[in-house]
Amino acid sequence: MSLQPKVALSNEFLIQLSKLPASVHTKVMKWAIKFQSDPRSPGINYENINGARDANLKSVRIDQDWRGIVFKPQSGDVYVLLYVDHHDSAYRWAENRKLAINPVTGAMQLVMLEMGAPELVSAPAQPVAADPSSTATVAAPAASSPLFDTLSDQELMSLGVPQELLSSVKRLSSDAELDAMQPMLPVEAYEGLFLVAAGDTVTQVLVSRETRVDKVVDTTDYAAALSTPESQARFVVVSDDETMAAILNAPLAQWRVFLHPTQQKLAVGDRSGPVRVLGGAGTGKTVLAMHRAKWLAENRTGDGQKVLFTTFTRNLASDIEQNLKTLCGAATLEKLEVKNLDAWVSNFMRANKLEHRIVYDRKQEGALQAWQAALAVRDTTLDLPDDFYEQELEHVVLAQGITTQDEYRTARRTGRGVVLTRGKRDAVWPVFEEYRGQLASRRLKEVDDAYREVASLIASEAKHQSRYSAIVIDETQDFGPQALRLLRAMASGAPNDLFFVGDGHQRIYSRHKAAMSKCGIDIRGRSKKLYINYRTTDEIRRQAVALLEGVEIDDLDDGADESKRYRSLSHGPVPEVKAVDGIEAAFSEVKTFLDGWQSLGAQGGSPVTCCVVASSEKVRDALASQLQRVGSRTVSVTAQSSHTDETGVVYLATMHRAKGLEFDCVAVVAPRSYAVEVAEEGNKRQLLYVALTRAKRGAVLLLT
C-alpha cells in the first residue's frame, strides 16, 4: 500500500494568491483543496513546460486562463504548489525557477536561475541625523574586493546560499550589491551573508542558529527536506482539507504559517532555563512569542495548568489575545491566559484581600496629596530640589525595592550625580517613609511596591505550586526590576518556565532599566537575536536608527545592544524629516503626505492603511479635527480600542498607543526637542523610533 503523498504550499503561492481577483481566488481554492486530497488523481493533467530549467516543474490547468505551477518529482510522493497566474505569465515564471535541496543544510530552496550577477547599485541615501539642523553625513566606504572571496563553497552553502548561486555571490563586492541580490536569496542566506559582511565568522553564525552541517544530505529526499526549519520558513505541509481551506482563506496572515528559521527553532523544543530574545522593531518578536506560547500550551502544559502570556499594556495584551485566537484551536486556547502584568497583579491583590489601589501616576488624586505631605517633612538644610526626591524615589528606592533606612544607607546610586554621605541619606529617608505612610492611609500603593509585595507573598508560601507551566513575556524592555522579580517568583522554576522577548531601542514606559541577572533570571547560554525586519523598508529602519544616535541602548541584562546587524527585506522611499512652524503647517504636510499615498493605493487597486502619530492626545485630536474638516474619516486609537481593521479611514494615535501596531504609511508629528533630547525621563528619542517604525512602506517625520 502506497503512502499518502505530501502536499505543501510555498509562501510565493500564497503571496500570489492574495493578489488575485475574488472570483479567481475562489476557483484556485476549490482546485487546491481537490489537489490536496489526491495529487495523483487522473483528473489532474500535469503538463511539461517548454524552456523550463527544472523538469520537475509542471503546469496544471485551473481553468481556460489560469495555470498553477506544481513541483512533481520523478520519484517520491512530495507535491508542492509553487505559483499561480495567467497562462503565459505562469510559464514565464517557471522557466527560470528550480526547486532544489541545499547539499549542506538539507533545506529545500526555490532558486531563481539565469539572473546573472546583480547590477551595481549606489549606496542608499544617508538618513538624517538625530538633530534636524545637522547636515553631516557619513560616506559609505567603497569595497575594493569581493566580500566573500575567503569563504569556501561549503561555507557559503552552510550559510544557506543555494549551490546554483555560488558564482553570483562570490562576485559581490559591496553591501549595496548584496542588498540588490537579496530577492534571489533564501532569507537565511541573505542573513548569513550580511552577518559575515558585518564581521561575524561563519562558525559564529552557525552556532547562533544551532545549525548542524556535518550530516549527510540526500538531495533527492524532498520529504526529509521539508522537515528542516529553513524549509518551514517558506513551505507548509498541508495534511487535510480543513487546514488547506484555513490557510487559503487567510493568505495575507502569513505569520500564522511561516517563521524565519531562527524563529522556528526558538518556538519549539525544550530549553534548560529562561530564554531572552532580542530584536529591533519589525523582526517578529511578538509573532515568535505567540508561536512559543502555542507550542508550550500544546506540548508542555498538563491538566490544571496554563501558559501565561503577559506584556506591559492592556492594548497590546488585547491585540495578542485576538491574534492567538486566529493561531490556536479551542483546546490550545483553554491552556492560554493573556493578561498584562498590571491587570494580573490587581486581580491577585483582590483575590488575596489586599485592597490597595495601585498608583500609576503620582499626579492622580490621593497620590499627589501624599507626595506633597512627604515633601513637607524634608530637611531644608540639604538644599536639594524637589525633583531630586522624586528621581531618588524612582531610580533608587523603588527600583531596588528598598524598605528600610538601613537598606538605603548602603544602596547603589550609580549615575545619580549628587553624592550623599550616610548622614545625608539619613536626612533624606524620612521623605520616602512619610510618602509610603501617606499612601497607606489612603489605601494606595506604588506599582513597584505592589510588585515587590506580591512577589514576597508568593515566595513566602510554604510549597509554592505555580499554576503556570510557563510564562511568555513580550515587550520586556518596559518592565522594571520589581516586575522581573515578580515574574521570576510567579514562574515554576522548571525548564521552559520563562521566555522573554524585547528591544531596548523601544523602551518607552520603564522608568528605570533592569538587568535580568540581578533579578534572579539567568539567561546564560540561552540568549538569541533576530536580525531580519519584516515590517519596515530598510530606508525607514535606517532613518529610525539614526534618530537614536548617541542614545545608549542596553540588552536588558547589563550589556549593550547594537543595531548595525539589523536589515530589512523591503525597500522604498527614504522618509523625509521636516522642521515645520506649528500644528497648522504640520497638518498641511500631513495632508499632502496622506493624499500621495492614498492616490498610490487607488492606482494599485488596493487601499493603503494610514496613521498619524502625535506626541500627545491634544495634538492627536487637533489633527483629527482638521482632517475631518477636509472630509477624511478618522479613527482614534485609545486605551479602550486599539484594533485597526477598518478600511478607508485615517487612524490617529499617540506615540505610546501606536506601540505594537503597523500601517502602510505613517506621519509622525512631534516637538523638535524630541529629536535632540536625551533626558533620563521621557525616552523621547525612543518614542520617535517606535512611531517611525510603525510604517511598512512610507513615513514622514514633522518636527514642530
Domain boundaries, the chain: 6-102+221-247, 116-209, 259-349+450-546, 357-442, 575-703
Residue found under cell 526626591: 389
Tabulate helix, strand, coil % of the chain (nearest 5). 40, 15, 40
What's the rounded Cα separation, in Å, for the pair 652 and 45? 52
259-349+450-546 belongs to which homologous superfamily? P-loop containing nucleotide triphosphate hydrolases (3.40.50.300)
In the 8-state DSSP scheme, what is residue 21?
-
Residue 284's identity, in one-letter code, is: G
14-46: per-residue pLDDT in tens? 989 888 888 898 899 999 999 999 999 888 889
What's the rounded Cα separation, in Å, for the pair 204 and 266? 17
Taken in order 529, 277, 508, 561, the sign of the CA dihedral is negative
Could you tell me which residue, 88 or 465, shows the higher pLDDT?
88
What is the number of residues in the chain? 704
What's the rounded Cα separation, in Å, for the pair 3 and 1? 7
pLDDT of residue 511: 63
71-82: per-residue pLDDT in tens? 998 888 899 999
Q: pTM for the complete prediction? A: 0.90
Rounded to the nearest 10 degrees, the angle between the axes of helix 481-490 and helix 447-460 is: 30
Q: Is the pLDDT of residue 52 over 70?
A: yes
In the 8-state DSSP scheme, what is residue 382?
G
6-102+221-247 belongs to which homologous superfamily? RelE-like (3.30.2310.20)
492-502: per-residue pLDDT in tens? 899 999 999 99
Between 104-118, 224-238, 450-464, the lowest mean confidence (pLDDT) is in 104-118
Rounded to the nearest 10 degrees, the angle between the axes of helix 241-249 and helix 11-18 is: 50
Residue found under cell 481566488: 25
What's the rounded Cα separation, in Å, for the pair 251 and 24? 14
661 and 637 in contact (C-beta within 8 Å)?
yes
Taken in order 533, 664, 554, 341, the sign of the CA dihedral is negative
Backbone angles phi, psi at 166, to 5 degrees: -60, -45
Q: Is the pLDDT of residue 84 over 50?
A: yes
pLDDT of residue 193: 97
Residue 536's identity, in one-letter code, is: T
Q: Is the pLDDT of residue 123 over 50?
A: no
Q: Indicate the CATH number for domain 575-703.
A: 3.40.50.300
Residue range 605-622: mean pLDDT, rounded: 93
Element (H, E) at 568: strand 567-570
Q: Is the pLDDT of residue 545 over 50?
A: yes
Cell numbers of 181, please?
Answer: 541580490
What's the rounded Cα separation, in Å, for the pair 214 and 227? 17
Rounded to the nearest 10 degrees, the angle between the axes of helix 481-490 and helix 341-351 is: 60
Residue range 251-270: mean pLDDT, rounded: 80
Residue 655's identity, in one-letter code, is: M
Mean pLDDT of the chain: 90
What's the rounded Cα separation, in Å, for the pair 290 and 319? 11
What's the rounded Cα separation, in Å, for the pair 286 and 267? 11
Residue found under cell 506591559: 312
Taken in order 336, 340, 341, 342, the sign of the CA dihedral is negative
pLDDT of residue 647: 82
267-295: per-residue pLDDT in tens? 999 999 999 999 999 999 999 999 999 99
Residue range 552-559: mean pLDDT, rounded: 92
Say yes or no: do domains 259-349+450-546 and 575-703 share a fold.
yes
Residue 346's identity, in one-letter code, is: S
CA nearest 565: which of 283, 286, 284? 283
633-678: per-residue pLDDT in tens? 999 998 777 667 788 899 999 999 999 899 999 999 999 999 886 5
Confidence class for position 254, pLDDT limits 50, 70, 90: low
Task: Give the 3-state secondary structure of residue 133.
Answer: coil
Compute the C-alpha angle 332/336/339, nearest 5°. Answer: 155
Could you tell me which residue, 123 or 15, shows the higher pLDDT?
15
Rounded to 10 degrees, the C-alpha dihedral 304/305/309/311 comes to 90
282 and 306 in contact (C-beta within 8 Å)?
no
Residue 364's identity, in one-letter code, is: Q
238 and 185 in contact (C-beta within 8 Å)?
no
CA nearest 234: which of 68, 80, 37, 69? 80
Confidence class for position 139, pLDDT limits 50, 70, 90: very low
Between 167-181, 375-389, 390-404, 632-646, the lowest mean confidence (pLDDT) is in 632-646
85 and 66 in contact (C-beta within 8 Å)?
yes
145-203: per-residue pLDDT in tens? 899 999 999 999 999 999 999 999 999 999 999 999 999 999 999 999 999 999 999 99
